[in-house]
Structure 1
Amino acid sequence: MASVVVEFSAREPARLARWWAEALGWQLDTQTGIIVRPTGPGVPLRFVASARAKTRKNGVHLDLRSESHDDQNKIVERLFNAGARFADIDQSSDVPWVVMADIEGNELCVLEPRKVYTRTGPLAAIVVDSLDPRSDARTLATATGMELAGERSEFASLRPPSGEGPFLEFLESASGPEGMLRVLAE
């Protein structure tokens, strides 16, 4: 079975990888490329060089887990102090999560506490814009052995069979998973 890897295209891949390693409390590995490896449940984040600048919202983003509302506030403050900025992706002003962007402008969300993400580690979910969420989820489930956790016409979610590690969530979007991040099954 293949495993999931999130790949960032970055203008400064080593700098961005260091930022994400610190943000998640994971380890930076430069032995076989620039990879941030989880120290517990998670998926590797790979960083590759790109001369192309980010010009629009990514079709893939990461959702970070919090354990309490106080913890959510602390994560937001820590990320902001590390260079993240608040982002507007046309979200409603009453959503319980906080939308931010990393130091190269890649969107991320700091989620309010949710029981479903209790065993994910610091990375709750990898969220992918999809033209057909259910089809994409089934394809990746077959390739990776992940289990279907839920689906509706506009949403499908996979979780690792162990119950530990981030969910892979597909949201219906007219544009699909374009941008500076992509999900790979290797």
Structure 2
Amino acid sequence: MKLCEARECAYFRRMASVVVEFSAREPERLARWWADVLGWRLDTGSGFVVQPTGPGVPLRFVASGRAKSGKNGVHLDLRSETHDDQNRIVERLFNAGARFADIDQSSEVPWVVMADLEGNELCVLEPRKVYANTGPVAAVVVDTPDPRSDARTMAAATGMELAGERTEFASLHPVSGEGPFLEFLENDDGPEGMLRVLVE
């Protein structure tokens, strides 16, 4: 994505929004699963889109014959309010068919890494005050070789505000103060895999 012209940026700030798209072998089944675990609404009017019922970001599910190979370069972080709530979310996901995942994370990290029905990684975070107003999805996390550059580009395209920045990490947040963060983590592999972030 190239940086927009000043005139175009003003339009994007009013109109553009972020959508997370999942490529799936069974898009309807996976969409229904995510709608159930997040408590959101499944819209089947034009494909399979899980729509937030409060703060959030739409999740679109499209059919793909491509098999997942390796770790996704985009994943969702789920918010918890307390440590007991984190445990309840993990238990609910597991009972719904999610499984624990190993992405070489340390055994000391306070979040729990899981995978959905088609193996897409997600994290159930420990409680963090910064995510108090995000809704159930705390952040959409994107691997990229250049976090700061990609964050600035996405900020220009969407009107989101820079919430934090350092060499290996940058994050954006909606101007309203509600909804998930968009976070960029330094990783040479980039955002390859079964999920992608779109601006529409």
The two structures have a TM-score, normalised by structure 1, of 0.99
Corresponding residue number in structure 2 for 1:159: 173
Quick one: which of 24, 48, 71 aligns to 2:85? 71
Instruction: Tell me how far apart the structure 2 counterparts of residues 112 and 22 of structure 1 sit (CA, whole Å).
Output: 21
- What is residue 122 of structure 1 aligned with on the other side? 136
State the AA in 2 paired with 1:178: E
Which residue matches 1:5?
19
Aligned to 1:105: 119
**In structure 1, what is the Cα distance between the partners aligned to 2:41 and 2:181?**
20
Match of 1:16 among 30, 35, 40: 30
CA separation in 2, counterparts of 1:72 and 1:82?
A: 15
Per-residue Cα deviation, 1:78-131 (whole angstroms, up to 9, x for no partner): 000000000000000000000000000000000000000000000000000011
Gaps of 5+ in 1: none
Unaligned segments of structure 2, at least 5 residues: 1-11
Q: Residue 33 of structure 2 aligns to a residue in which SS?
A: helix
DSSP 3-state at the match of 1:36: strand
Equivalent residue, structure 1, for 2:102: 88
Could you tell me which amino acid in structure 2 is paired with residue 47 of structure 1?
Answer: F
- Which structure has the larger Rg over C-alpha atoms? 2
**Matched pairs, number:** 186
The offset of 1:180, in angstroms, is 0.1
Q: In the alignment, is residue 59 of structure 1 matched against residue 73 of structure 2? A: yes
Identity %: 83
SS of the aligned residue for 1:53 comes to coil
Q: Cα deviations across residues 38-92 of structure 1 (Å, max 9, x unaligned)?
A: 0000010000000011111000000000000000000000000000000000000
**How far apart in 1 are the matches of 2:55 and 2:150?**
23
1:56 & 1:101 partners in 2: Cα distance? Answer: 12
What one-letter code is carried by the residue in structure 2 that aligns with 1:24?
Answer: L
How far off is 1:32 after superposition? Answer: 1.3
Q: Which runs of 4 or more aligned residues in structure 1 lie more than 4 Å from their structure 2 counterparts after TM superposition?
A: none
Give distance in 1, aligned partners of 2:37 and 2:149.
32
